[in-house]
């Protein structure tokens, strides 16, 4: 049986900002609702950053407008919080607006286990811990969930943990530390404990990518309203993830189309060598 999940990422409803066309967000959400219905999606994933934050009261209003627009989606929606959803709003305020809990969750759908890893996405500002903080509690939940998995596992987060190159990315080429959780190596080590196939899905970085680390495919989906890859027009990115027993097909519609078919496996790669300069066998060969 094939499970179809429609995906929207980084809606960024609000005033246009840099290359984010937040002024087009509500109309594109209407298009996304039709896309989810037309593709026969049984579930929908909202990967977070529903708004471009301004201040507490404005953000409450913007989040409410997005939640109202998403009511047009007929399938159940799983929401995550992005950093913009958390700059001025608490998790509890997001929960009240969206009408669902936003803690970590696991759902078994057909032959797959879907882990909603809602790790803390708030960016700390104005203190010595600037940026994201990956808490020990979030890491432990991920590790225990991966170890317990007895079927193929889809791990969903707002911020990716692949640590893949951001060369060419409008926002993150010169700010790579803001594109990934700190201690992402520990999150990847937790994923490597899996005895089943694993696929990871995230938003945040505003482009479509596939990166394989330790035999695990990490996907990131383009923003609904991003324009740096589409010459100023909102990309209108709408994803469909099809999960079969031995195959994963991911395609993204819109002005920045993308498609890939994967065959995830439970096997892991041989650990990398250390720095050649520190390797005893490499030193003997000098």
Q: What is residue 180's DSSP assignment?
A: S
- Mean pLDDT computed over 200-227: 98
Task: In whole angstroms, give the CA distance from residue 96 to residue 81.
Answer: 13
Characterize 68-100 residue by residue with b for buried, 16 or more Cβ atoms within 10 angstroms of its Cβ, and e for exposed: ebbeebebebbbbbbbbbbbbbebebbeebbee
pLDDT digit string, tens, across residues 27-80 = 999 999 999 999 999 999 999 999 999 999 999 999 999 999 999 999 999 999
Give the count of alpha carbons within 13 A of 117, CB side only. 32
pLDDT digits (tens, 9 = 90+) for 131-184: 899 999 999 999 999 999 999 999 999 999 999 999 999 999 999 999 999 999
Q: Measure the CA–CA gap between 242 and 154, rounded to whole angstroms.
A: 11
pLDDT at 278: 84
Instruction: Map out the domains of the chain with their CATH numbers.
Output: 3-284 (3.60.21.10)
End-to-end CA distance of the chain: 56
- At residue 285, the pLDDT reads 54
Structure tokens at 112: 């797959």
Look up residue 55 and give its two tokens: 């201040």
Residue 284: pLDDT band by 50, 70, 90 thresholds?
low
Structure-token match 């819109």, residue found: 254
């Amino acid at each position: 049986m094939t499970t179809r999940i429609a995906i929207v990422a980084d809606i960024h409803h609000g005033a246009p900002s840099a290359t984010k066309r937040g002024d087009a967000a509500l109309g594109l959400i209407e298009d996304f609702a039709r896309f989810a219905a037309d593709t026969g999606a049984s579930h929908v994933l909202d990967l977070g950053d529903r708004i471009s934050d301004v201040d507490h009261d404005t953000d409450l209003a913007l989040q409410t407008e997005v939640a109202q627009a998403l009511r047009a989606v007929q399938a159940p929606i799983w929401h995550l919080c992005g950093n913009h959803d958390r700059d001025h709003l608490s998790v509890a305020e997001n929960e009240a607006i969206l009408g669902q809990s936003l803690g970590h969750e696991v759902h078994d759908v057909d032959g797959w286990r879907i882990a909603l890893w809602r790790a803390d996405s708030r960016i700390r500002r104005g203190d010595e811990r600037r940026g994201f903080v990956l808490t020990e509690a979030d890491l432990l939940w991920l590790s225990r969930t991966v170890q317990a998995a007895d079927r193929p596992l889809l791990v969903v987060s707002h911020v990716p943990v692949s640590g893949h190159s951001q060369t060419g990315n409008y926002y993150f080429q010169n700010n790579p530390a803001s594109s990934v959780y700190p201690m992402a190596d520990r999150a990847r080590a937790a994923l490597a404990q899996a005895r089943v196939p694993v696929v990871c899905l995230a938003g945040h970085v505003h482009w479509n990518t596939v990166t394989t680390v330790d035999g695990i495919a990490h996907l990131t989906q383009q923003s609904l309203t991003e324009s740096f890859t589409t010459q100023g027009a909102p990309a209108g990115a709408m994803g469909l993830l099809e999960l079969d027993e031995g195959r994963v097909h991911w395609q993204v519609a819109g002005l920045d189309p993308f498609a890939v078919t994967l065959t995830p496996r439970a096997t892991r790669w041989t650990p990398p060598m250390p720095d050649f300069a520190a390797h005893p066998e490499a030193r003997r060969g000098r």
